[in-house]
Chain A
């Protein structure tokens, strides 16, 4: 049992605050870790990286090696990396980098350092913040409430299929595709079969979390030419297990739900904004007045909600 949420604002605003509310209301669904994928106003060039290093005592060496990989790909830091440490052994970072020559090749090289320092999101707009602890704890530590953006995802994790590690928290970035993130509630029962197939194609897995499989699987589908909508529909018959997952891109949030209808998702779509979550009481934190609540309760469902502001600007 985990809790997931998605939020789209009509106009850019404090999306972080709303996501913290959505996840705090579902804190009982998963107290192990909490994460947020926040989409800020997209930059025209350069990427924001979020991630963590696993041993703060090697921080300086990690950053030097990481910068060397950037240089190998003709890019570098646009400003000094921001690093957050506390009593935990791991540290979290936020970096702004210029465009590498080839993002796929750069991500592959950066991943060679993943036993020390792991990139957990990369995007013109996307920033993934995830850590062990409740929504309030993670929000306080990382200043999530003050983050301004257009849309985002949230996740509260009750670890069932892999360990309680900070990097096994959600959301997962669909590496190496910039600005694509997923959150998932459920269990993937053919995890090892699917992972084996994807690894044979050269995909990398940085955790043993079954939700990471969905992110990588979706990456593969996009790479083979499917649209997000098509990939979501295909996931229902291709991935085995009980699941509801949400996937976000730079201008939309989509969801897919398994054939057994075991994992709920409810939605309020009002005044150009959308709040979706595992539980209705969570979306009511954002829309306090009685509102039309849509229960996507049936089996084999998928859908995509777009950003009106981006659509209007296009």
Chain B
């Protein structure tokens, strides 16, 4: 199937997204050009299509993705892949705040750093960041995994639920109610299996796995130390 080229420029985003959806036939390859960091590009894309954004995109790119493979050649603004259920998003550059917010499945791969609250309230899927994850990343993540190969900012994994935050390198500070545990060999193998297809597997890495301390889950209001924690 030949590649379809769609120009963004200063066209209304609704019109651009209508063109994208119309071109999303099974197996389709789309190249989106002149993106100019515009917001809301490629929302609710179907499975079995391949989109390449030639340039930076603004907020919510690839949101509510149901299975498309998306690459963003440069940076992504806030909430790339928000609420996605399936598919794969690759950001070649930097991704802003709330990467994969409330996502329930699929994979987001950021080659640079991310802004604050990466994976906020995520409920499944994997976020792999080759750089550092920003302030309060993993905030209230219900499930799923954030894997940061270049370290983490302040207040990492704050108020985590059942999600996991895996970090190599420096963690500036931990958030509230976080427990750092030694991962088992099986768990490390599981993470390596996620990294392998991306060419990022390295068995020499030293991981820090962060999970919930679970004290906020069953908050005991008569326990003074619980109040001090928050």
Q: Could you tell me the distance between the alpha carbons of A93 and B84 in the complex, rounded to whole angstroms?
A: 52
Q: Is B36 in contact with A288, judged by CB distance below 8 angstroms? A: yes
Q: Could you tell me the distance between the alpha carbons of A310 and B117 in the complex, rounded to whole angstroms?
A: 39
Nearest-neighbour CB distance to chain B for A28, whole angstroms, equals 9
Given A280-B37, A297-B97, A298-B153 in contact, is the A290-B56 Cβ separation under 8 Å? yes
Contacts of A293 in B (CB 8 A): 37, 56, 75, 94
Given A281-B39, A295-B96, A297-B96 in contact, is the A261-B134 Cβ separation under 8 Å? yes
Nearest-neighbour CB distance to chain B for A200, whole angstroms, equals 33
Contacts of A290 in B (CB 8 A): 55-56, 74
Those of A270-298 within 8 Å (CB) of chain B: 279-281, 283-284, 288, 290, 293, 295, 297-298
Given A264-B97, A280-B56 in contact, is the A295-B38 Cβ separation under 8 Å? no
Q: Could you tell me the distance between the alpha carbons of A290 and B115 in the complex, rounded to whole angstroms?
A: 20
SS class of chain A's interface: helix, strand, loop or mixed?
loop
Contacts of B96 in A (CB 8 A): 264, 280, 295, 297
Contacts of B161 in A (CB 8 A): none
Those of B21-59 within 8 Å (CB) of chain A: 36-39, 55-56, 58-59
Contacts of B125 in A (CB 8 A): none
What's the tally of chain A residues with a CB closer than 8 Å to chain B?
Answer: 14
Q: Could you tell me the distance between the alpha carbons of A295 and B94 in the complex, rounded to whole angstroms?
A: 9
Q: Could you tell me the distance between the alpha carbons of A116 and B4 in the complex, rounded to whole angstroms?
A: 61
Contacts of B115 in A (CB 8 A): 261, 264, 295, 297-298
Nearest-neighbour CB distance to chain A for B96, whole angstroms, equals 6
Q: Is B116 an interface residue (CB 8 A)?
A: yes
Contacts of B56 in A (CB 8 A): 280, 284, 290, 293
Those of B95-154 within 8 Å (CB) of chain A: 96-97, 115-117, 134-136, 153-154
- 25 pairs of residues in contact across A and B, judged by CB atoms under 8 Å: A261-B116, A261-B117, A261-B136, A264-B78, A264-B96, A264-B97, A264-B115, A279-B37, A280-B96, A281-B39, A284-B37, A284-B56, A288-B36, A290-B55, A290-B56, A290-B74, A293-B94, A295-B75, A295-B94, A297-B134, A298-B134, A298-B153, A298-B154, A299-B135, A299-B154
Apart from A261-B115, A280-B37, A298-B154, 13 more pairs, CB < 8 Å: A261-B97, A261-B116, A261-B135, A261-B136, A281-B38, A281-B39, A290-B56, A293-B37, A293-B94, A297-B115, A297-B116, A298-B135, A299-B116
